[in-house]
Structure 1
Amino acid sequence: MALSEAWLKANNGKEREAVEVVADRDSMSVRISPKGKIVFQLRYRFNNKQERVDLGTYPHISLKDARLEATRLRGLLDQNKNPKLELLVEKEKNINPVTFKEVFLMWYESYCSKNKKEHESIKRMFENHLFNKLGNHPIDRIDISDWLGIFEELAGRIPGTAKNLLSNTKQMLKWAAKRKYIQTNILADVYPKADLNITSIPTKRVLTDDEIVVFYECLKWSRLTTKNKIFLELCLIFACRNGELRRAEKKHFDLKRKIWKVPPSNHKTGYKNDKTLIRPILPYMEDLIREAMELSEGKYLFSNGKNIDEYLTDPASTALPNSVIGWVKRFKKETMEHWSLHDLRRTARTNFSAFSKNRDIHEIMIGHVLPNNQEVYDLYGYVLEQAEVYEKWIEKLERLKG
């Protein structure tokens, strides 16, 4: 006969002389101990062997739920999976679940640190905004509401960070889903604009000539270290990405041939085109580079303080504009509109247009990919053409310095 809740309730805790097994249906039964403990079990054959697996103890699991679990486990047999082993795997996952932080660190080591130039900044972003809230949570139990609660709050305060963090979290969850740490990437259909109301407004900050004058006054009179002053000035002159200069090794500067080679691993588009950027080194640039080499003991042109085997960190470099702005406010009693290292790059690129009408040269100078497959067929470096623009740019900067 099939079991019923009434029968189970009547026999639960009822002592008997020996173990008793009572069948239900579909290979499920209950095993009752001499002291009346009732355990649901499922019998099945796997690999031509008789097997038995416990489903749970009554009344901690109801008859209805036991039957549902038995049905689920019988479904595993159709997938050529042994229910007993699958339950052991599930139990292990529940006892020692893989946490969000653990998955992030695996993704960071295997993918992020090897493929993303700003991987250190990405790691700090996760540490600052996600680890304290979700770091120890089992990653497969983090609900969409948990994610949205965090991202919506960040979007209201720091939309740029929220957008960047969402993008990297989605990539990490996609990586995790492929490796079966989670069933699906639940953030796959979450978008900055549609779901977080983040609207991207292109930054248009360019330093005026008057601001460049003040910039150089700061480099002359402030207590910024000589190394940091050189770093700022080279960012302004070359219009390079600050990461290209931070990661630059001394050997990348060929002072005999007067060129700076930026290997693919050191610039943003390198992973796409595997191309080395080549920039000319003019005499004034060379003087700054030689001075920086003398100040740095390690292999990098700009080492990370006393850690000579490490290059200048992103936080250390991105803090430099605030040092300049702070000096202006304190010593010149003026308010300088906020600018970033990337704004120095934009300032130079804007000025390049005044010296030459060849936009392709300007794009090459700042390391952008040329349109319409030009880089596939045109491998000429345009070093001399770049030098002509740089020369006019340096002449203007010299005039502004006074």
Structure 2
Amino acid sequence: MNKLFDKNLKAVQNKLREKTVVLNDGGGLGARVSPLGKVRWQYRYKIDGYGKRLDLGDYPEVSLVKAREMARQCREWLAEGYDPKLQRAMQRNQTLKPVTVKDALEYWLTEYAEEKRANAYKHRAQFLRHIYPFIGDYPLSQTETHHWLECFDRARKGIPGKRRPAPVAAGYVMQNAKQALRFCRVRKYAISRVLDDLTVSDVGQRQRKKDRVLSDQELADVWRFAGSSNALPYYRNLLKLLLAFGARTREVRLSQWAEWDFQAMTWTVPKANSKTSEKILRPIPEALLPWLMALKEQTESSGYVLGELKKPEAVSQAGRLLWNKLRHSEAWTLHDLRRSLATKLNDLGVMPHVVEHLLGHSLGGVMAVYNHSQYMAEKLKALDIWLEQLELMAYPSENVVLYKPAG
């Protein structure tokens, strides 16, 4: 069978004719010429005895050489047991509607992080800040390592006059993005290995292990501040609950009155609000009951213990400024209150496993498998000791302990 040449195609292109004709090139490839002289490439094949036709594009936009290459690919698909029409549709969908960088990262956030990580909102916020504005719309399969490095370097070095250098954030974003791409790859959602060889030290630096423990005087200042009128009720009550229970900020910020059982005297943090995705059961000390009941009267209509639901970024920012407001010489964060409680309780002789339970940490090793005790009596005793210690530090000359809700 004779092969086609460009001169054959040009001879019929844009020439009027009475009817449609097909010029065959062999191997299933043909050029369909319409009565108006429009030339369109077609690949013809059979599956189970039924003839099928696949349009490959118009000449000369699709050249003769390109059409032959496309027909060769169709024959390979057919030999492997695939319908060329379906395979081409899937391939075109990947090309015309590719999985973008943003698609891939959002897939990880929604399918994994939002369920498994309490701070998924933070991951998304960092992607929004450091990744999406720059390469978020890029097809993931076409990105190269240098595209990502430009984002990480921008975060690490900062932008003069706009953003401060954030080497720790750069490393943090890289680690999350790397895990996201692996998650997408394992699930066959999208394939990319451009971050596989990168480490935190390649793009930024690791977060230093924090060891800030507030002194007795600083803790006394925080406890007095939580009972004063020098700040908004929301933050005073937040501080009081954080320091009294050693809870995470998220647990208090999201806490609703439905979690508090004043008959059983327990506060149950639901799995959804727990970093470990396990519910946390804490006893309510008798000494806090009057303050909590008065607080409930003030905020119960909202459903939230703190009276409203603030965004985590706003709470975190306010918490970062408290040390300066209290005129402390060294910075501390709201999370450092947990570390301070843990350290002080251990110093006071409370057993480490009881402290770990109070903090909502998962026990390791064999204890995690076989020991499901909540140690409620031990935790209540520890909290009683802790509250008494706070009062003694904050009000050393007073014999009466007053728990007045901030409102």
TM over 0.5: yes
In structure 1, runs of 5+ residues without a counterpart are 305-310, 329-333
Candidates 243, 266, 269, aligned match of 2:276: 269
Q: Does 1:232 align with 2:235?
A: no
Q: 1:244-393 counterparts in 2 under 5 A?
A: 244-270=251-277, 274=278, 276-296=279-299, 297-304=301-308, 311-328=309-326, 334=327, 336-356=329-349, 358-393=351-386
Over residues 9-32 of structure 1, what are the superposed CA-to-partner deviations in whole Å (9 max), with x where a residue is unaligned? 864858475765444343334345
Over residues 49-71 of structure 1, what are the superposed CA-to-partner deviations in whole Å (9 max), with x where a residue is unaligned? 22232333444334433322222
C-alpha contact 1:170 1:185 (8 A) present in aligned 2: no
Counterparts of 2:36 and 2:306 in 1: how far apart (Å)? 76
C-alpha contact 1:30 1:39 (8 A) present in aligned 2: yes
Q: 1:70-85 counterparts in 2 under 5 A?
A: 70-85=71-86
C-alpha contact 1:100 1:138 (8 A) present in aligned 2: yes
Counterparts of 1:222 and 1:148 in 2: how far apart (Å)? 48
Q: Does 1:158 align with 2:166?
A: yes
C-alpha contact 2:32 2:40 (8 A) present in aligned 1: yes
Candidates 152, 169, 172, aligned match of 2:177: 169
Counterparts of 2:34 and 2:92 in 1: how far apart (Å)? 24
Three-state SS of the structure 2 residue aligned to 1:373 is: helix
| C-alpha deviation, 1:374, in angstroms | 0.8
| C-alpha deviation, 1:188, in angstroms | 6.1
| C-alpha deviation, 1:266, in angstroms | 2.6
The TM-score, its normalising length taken from structure 1, stands at 0.80
Q: Does 1:130 align with 2:134?
A: no
Map of 2:404 onto structure 1: none
Counterparts of 2:101 and 2:216 in 1: how far apart (Å)? 49
Counterparts of 1:191 and 1:395 in 2: how far apart (Å)? 50
Over residues 157-180 of structure 1, what are the superposed CA-to-partner deviations in whole Å (9 max), with x where a residue is unaligned? 334433443444345445544665
Q: 1:82-97 counterparts in 2 under 5 A?
A: 82-92=83-93, 94-97=95-98
Q: Which amino acid aligns with 2:303?
A: K
| C-alpha deviation, 1:316, in angstroms | 3.0
Cα distance change, pair 282–10 in 1 and its aligned pair in 2 (3 A): closer
Three-state SS of the structure 1 residue aligned to 2:231 is: coil
| C-alpha deviation, 1:218, in angstroms | 4.0
Three-state SS of the structure 2 residue aligned to 1:215 is: helix
Counterparts of 1:26 and 1:277 in 2: how far apart (Å)? 69
Map of 2:160 onto structure 1: none
Q: Which amino acid aligns with 1:247?
A: L
| C-alpha deviation, 1:352, in angstroms | 1.6
Q: Which amino acid aligns with 1:278?
A: L
| C-alpha deviation, 1:229, in angstroms | 0.7
Counterparts of 1:162 and 1:313 in 2: how far apart (Å)? 23
Over residues 269-328 of structure 1, what are the superposed CA-to-partner deviations in whole Å (9 max), with x where a residue is unaligned? 23xxx5x42223223333443343233123331242xxxxxx443223212323423424
Counterparts of 1:201 and 1:314 in 2: how far apart (Å)? 22
Cα distance change, pair 22–96 in 1 and its aligned pair in 2 (3 A): same
C-alpha contact 1:302 1:312 (8 A) present in aligned 2: no
**What percent identity do the matched residue pairs reach?**
25
Three-state SS of the structure 2 residue aligned to 1:126 is: helix
C-alpha contact 1:227 1:292 (8 A) present in aligned 2: no
Counterparts of 2:337 and 2:48 in 1: how far apart (Å)? 70
Three-state SS of the structure 2 residue aligned to 1:319 is: helix
Map of 2:398 onto structure 1: none
Map of 2:389 onto structure 1: 396
In structure 2, runs of 5+ residues without a counterpart are 158-164, 396-407
| Matched residue count | 385
C-alpha contact 2:140 2:192 (8 A) present in aligned 1: no
Query: Which of structure 1's runs of 4+ aligned residues deviate more than 6 A?
Result: none
Counterparts of 2:171 and 2:295 in 1: how far apart (Å)? 36
Aligned-residue Cα RMSD (Å) equals 3.4
Counterparts of 1:12 and 1:129 in 2: how far apart (Å)? 55
Counterparts of 2:349 and 2:204 in 1: how far apart (Å)? 40
Q: Which amino acid aligns with 1:215?
A: V
Three-state SS of the structure 2 residue aligned to 1:43 is: strand
Three-state SS of the structure 1 residue aligned to 2:239 is: helix
Q: 1:185-204 counterparts in 2 under 5 A?
A: 185-186=192-193, 189-193=196-200, 195-204=202-211
| C-alpha deviation, 1:33, in angstroms | 5.5
Cα distance change, pair 122–153 in 1 and its aligned pair in 2 (3 A): same
Cα distance change, pair 163–292 in 1 and its aligned pair in 2 (3 A): farther
C-alpha contact 1:101 1:136 (8 A) present in aligned 2: yes
| C-alpha deviation, 1:244, in angstroms | 1.9
Counterparts of 2:166 and 2:10 in 1: how far apart (Å)? 62
Map of 1:49 onto structure 2: 50
Cα distance change, pair 284–141 in 1 and its aligned pair in 2 (3 A): farther
Q: Which amino acid aligns with 1:341?
A: L
Three-state SS of the structure 2 residue aligned to 1:24 is: strand
